Chains A and B, each alone.
Chain A
Amino acid sequence: MSNLVILPILIPLLAGAILVFWRKKLMVVRVGAQLVTIINLIVSSYMAYVILQDGPLILETGGWMAPYGIILVGDGLSIVLVVTTNIIAVASAFYAPNSLDKGREEHYFYTFFLMLIAGVSGAFLTGDIFNLFVFFEVLLMASYGMIVLGGTKEQLRESIKYVLLNLFSSILFVTTVSFLYSVTGTINMAQLSERVGQVNQDGILTTIAILFFVVFATKGALFPLYFWMPHSYTKPPAVISALFGALLTKVGIYSILRVFTLIFIGNIDYTHTFFIFLAGFTLLFGVAGALSTNNIKLIIAYNIIPAIGFMVMGIGIFTDLSVAGAVYYLIHDMIIKAALFFLVGAIAIAAGTSDLRKISGLIKHYPLLGWLFFIACITLAGIPPFSGFIGKLLLLKSAFANENFIVAGIGLLASLLILISVIRIFVQGFWGESMSLPTEKRSIKPLYFPISFLLFFSILLGVGAEWFLPHIQQIGVDLMNPSGYVDAVLKE
């Protein structure tokens, strides 16, 4: 028992609620949000320290024992993702005041933002599948609030699609939970793992597993379920795109990772092979999307998809190494996607447009922006020693070792195409003849701090990989042996 586990959820929740009352006092709200995210980062880092030292932290909320009450489980995977989320939260809290307009800030942006963080952290920490649904709804509702914020024509147009598709998958989610409850009589994830294992995950459970996969894959933007994503993610302001790109789809991936390492592992020949197959298509189609457009925000949004492909490939291959690779890639991708959205947001402010055909020669006026972007590009493409390489290496190695040559080949090819898709922005937008810059615009100087903050972690994850990798590899081993999780929850 440790009440610590709920803090990463509770702190932003309460702060978000309180900030509602100061909506006109923007200075208070901004600084408040910044302080809260920093405190939350410190708390969750401390938790990570405790968990990685002493094993999972369990909280039986309300004192109701597992499997009856809602259990929060802080295991290695959950906590590293919570910490990563809070790193992004801190950066966003500093990016938002310097990029958003006053209207959006006053209309509860910070509340939505903090609630989103609470929802995401909750989704990572909960050990109850219905409670996972509830946290999904929290983060989705917060995201709905954000995506419509400002209410421009295009924003509203894409929000409708976004809300409707997510609504549909939520309904499917809750329905599938009820099917699972019918078969197993429980909704506690540890007990589910136990019970599904006891009946060797027979046919109906595999079907239910696939339904869960469809739900999570829709949220996680996997081929062929991601079509709603790129446009809706790019219409709101950059900081919101960054939060969406870095956090929302990743919650879907986390859920796949959790559910298909903890609960549904009885028929991996069928389910996980299917994942590898989809991962290949996701890689290819995603990167094709990134190459298809000249809108710099869209290029980044499309690049979310091949990254998802890499992670699902790791889940599909299903070895200690590949799962560890997926986790490493997940952490890397959350940070670098946020950084890239921040960067293109800054580019769009500097150039006054997101149309790459209209941008050129920016490096003359914004050399720092250019080089930060360049580093972000090669990080994304997985060039060592930056963070993308480590996860990709683990994934490729496990793919080769398991003779999944085709998907490994696709992974290599996709890496090249990813690099092309983003370096195009550098070559066309930063190089070339200097363009005439918009006369009236905000300064992008304050944006350098959050961008560099994220890139710092990104580089740290690569160069200092040895500080993290043993833990991540341990997480991989733990995920592959769910009995540890089950014992921790059920036999406290």
Chain B
Amino acid sequence: MEILMSILAGILFATGVYLLLQRQLLKIIFGTALLSHGAHLFILTMGKLNRGAPPILVEGIEDYVDPLPQALILTSIVISFGVTSFLLVLAYRAYKTNQTDNMEHLRGNDHE
């Protein structure tokens, strides 16, 4: 199962990266969302999957899945949520100010 999940996360990464290489800001932001999904899936997969009960202690159960990756993912999810929201507003402001959401038009080297 871990192997398959790794491949799935890999696919999420690949599509995320592909979108990151696009011109349009919205697509690029989609890419980052896919990338963080991929990353979170990786973290979970890297703990052992499915070997035990959810990490909520119950009398009598000895085996639980690794709780640490879950804690890390939670932290990471919240952080990426913060960054993504910020990025969305930034994209909106940049579009309003620069009148384009095409990153190829936002090179800006002619100023030098």
Contacts and interface: CB of A to CB of B under 8 A. Distances in A.
Query: Direct A–B touching in the complex (beta carbon < 8 Å)?
Result: yes
Interface of A: 130, 133-134, 137, 141, 144, 148, 151-154, 156-161, 163-164, 167-168, 170-172, 174-175, 177-179, 181-182, 187, 231, 293-295, 298
A160 B112 contact: no
Q: Chain B interface residue count: which class?
A: 35 or more
A295 B110 CA distance: 13
A172 B17 CA distance: 11
B64 interface: no
10 contacts: A130-B75, A137-B79, A148-B90, A156-B97, A161-B103, A163-B90, A164-B20, A174-B76, A175-B38, A175-B43
B108 interface: yes
Contacts of A167: 32, 83, 87
A366 B93 CA distance: 39
Most A-side CB within 10 Å, residue of B86, B94, B111:
B94
A175 B93 CA distance: 30
B106 interface: yes
Nearest to B48: A182
Contacts of B32: 164, 167-168, 171
A149 B25 CA distance: 20
Nearest to A133: B76
A148 B75 contact: no
A231 B108 contact: yes
Contact of B97 (A151, A179, A294): A151
Given A158-B108, A164-B32, A171-B39, A182 B46 contact: yes
B82 interface: yes
Contacts of A187: 68, 72
Interface of B: 20, 25, 28, 32, 35-36, 38-39, 42-43, 45-47, 68-69, 72, 75-76, 79-80, 82-83, 86-87, 90-91, 93-94, 97-98, 103, 106, 108, 111-112
B73 to A, nearest CB: 9
A164 B72 CA distance: 22
B20 A168 contact: yes
A134 B25 contact: no
A154 B35 contact: no
A132 B86 CA distance: 21
A181 B82 contact: no
B55 to A, nearest CB: 15
Given A157-B106, A163-B90, A293-B112, 4 more contacts: A148-B93, A156-B93, A157-B98, A164-B20
Nearest to B25: A160
A159 B93 CA distance: 11
A95 B25 CA distance: 35
Given A151-B97, A178-B42, A156 B90 contact: yes
Given A137-B79, A293-B112, A163 B46 contact: no
A172 B36 CA distance: 9
A177 B39 CA distance: 10
A151 B93 contact: yes
A64 to B, nearest CB: 13
A144 B91 CA distance: 13
A144 B86 contact: yes
B106 A298 contact: no
A141 B80 CA distance: 11
Contact of A168 (B35, B79, B90): B35
A159 to B, nearest CB: 6
Contacts of B112: 293-295, 298
A131 to B, nearest CB: 9
Given A134-B79, A141-B82, A164-B87, A157 B108 contact: yes
Contacts of B68: 181, 187
Contacts of B36: 171
Contact of B46 (A134, A141, A170, A178): A178
B51 to A, nearest CB: 14
Nearest to B99: A153
A158 B43 CA distance: 31
Contacts of B90: 144, 148, 156, 159-160, 163
A168 B93 CA distance: 21
B52 to A, nearest CB: 16
Contact of A154 (B39, B42, B72, B108): B108
A172 B86 CA distance: 19
